[in-house]
């Protein structure tokens, strides 16, 4: 379905007005001091190829029990905003191999780590499709979460990713979502990254992947993988700019008041979690 509501149409008009107005240098006030210019010496998204920015694209988001909320809702916020000015469709795909649509909770169960780290509250999303009913997709996003500890053994997920990958324009993962991609085999021979907090778990899914221990996100061909949780927001900033242009990506960050990390190699969490090699936890 197309994301066009009266509220979004009004927002689209406001964004268009903002685009026409002169854009001052963005600044940030730190600790009440004078505004400090945001560093501009970081790489910006490339200009999209001719014709790509006007194409209608079909996005899909995989959902499984124990997903991390921001891994899902961060990229979805980008898609919600993108839909105010571009035609896109969105499918929320339950990783159940049936036709029944039931809510998918962010609460993970059934693994030692989930028992120790899962909180008392979570969110439930009602999917629009299942693995059996999902439509043709142009872009598939695979989020991370504690649930990946059990879902890496879900052969239905691996089969779905393998079957859909050849027809995808792009395949993206956030955090431990890279573990699901690695398990399916689509990362074989590619460079990829994931959250450093769970580095041993991710890299343990395949020794055929060139795991990059220090990266906010990694792009290899039409596959993009990001580090943990918030890194998915930065990867999406880059990705929107890649497909639809830097001006739109920057304008949307101003609308949602988000300051993205633009340098894909910036990764202080590699030091925090002592990740110095492709396999070290």
Q: Residue 102: pLDDT above 80?
A: yes
Q: How confident is the prediction for the chain on average, in pLDDT?
A: 84
* Confidence class for position 52, pLDDT limits 50, 70, 90: low
* Confidence class for position 277, pLDDT limits 50, 70, 90: confident
Q: Residue 25: pLDDT above 50?
A: no
Q: Residue 188: pLDDT above 90?
A: yes
Report the percentage of the chain scoring pLDDT > 70: 77
* Confidence class for position 113, pLDDT limits 50, 70, 90: low
**CA–CA dist 90, 57 (Å, integer):** 9
pLDDT of residue 121: 84
* Confidence class for position 14, pLDDT limits 50, 70, 90: very low
In the numeric block, which tokens belong to residue 142?
């695979």
Domain made up of 58-272: CATH architecture: 3-Layer(aba) Sandwich (3.40)
Q: Residue 197: pLDDT above 60?
A: yes
* Confidence class for position 281, pLDDT limits 50, 70, 90: very low
Domain ranges in the chain are: 58-272
**CA–CA dist 117, 98 (Å, integer):** 29
Report the percentage of the chain scoring pLDDT > 90: 71
The pTM of this model reads: 0.81
């Amino acid at each position: 379905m197309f994301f066009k509501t009266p509220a979004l149409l009004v927002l689209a008009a406001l964004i268009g007005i903002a685009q026409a107005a002169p854009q001052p240098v963005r600044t940030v006030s730190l600790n009440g001091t004078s505004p400090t210019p945001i560093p501009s010496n970081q790489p910006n998204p490339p200009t999209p190829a001719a014709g790509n920015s006007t194409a209608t694209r079909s996005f899909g988001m995989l959902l499984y029990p124990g997903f991390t909320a921001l891994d899902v809702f961060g990229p979805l916020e980008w898609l919600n905003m993108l839909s105010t000015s571009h035609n896109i469709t969105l499918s929320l795909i339950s990783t159940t191999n049936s036709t029944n649509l039931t809510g998918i909770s962010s609460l993970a169960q059934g693994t030692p780590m989930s028992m120790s780290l899962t909180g008392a509250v979570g969110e439930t999303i009602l999917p629009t499709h299942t693995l059996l009913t999902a439509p043709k997709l142009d872009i598939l996003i695979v989020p991370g979460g504690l649930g990946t500890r059990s879902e890496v053994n879900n052969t239905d997920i691996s089969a779905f990713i393998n079957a859909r990958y050849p027809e995808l324009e792009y395949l993206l993962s956030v955090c431990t979502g890279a573990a699901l991609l690695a398990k399916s085999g689509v990362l074989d021979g590619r460079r990829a990254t994931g959250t450093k907090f769970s580095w041993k778990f991710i890299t343990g899914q395949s020794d055929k992947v060139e795991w990059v221990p220090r990266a906010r996100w990694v792009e290899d061909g039409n596959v993009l993988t990001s580090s943990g949780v918030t890194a998915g927001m930065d990867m999406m900033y880059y990705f929107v700019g890649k497909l639809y242009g830097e001006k739109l990506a920057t304008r949307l960050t101003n609308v949602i008041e988000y300051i993205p990390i633009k340098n894909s190699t910036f990764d202080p969490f590699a030091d925090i979690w002592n990740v110095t090699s492709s396999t070290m936890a």
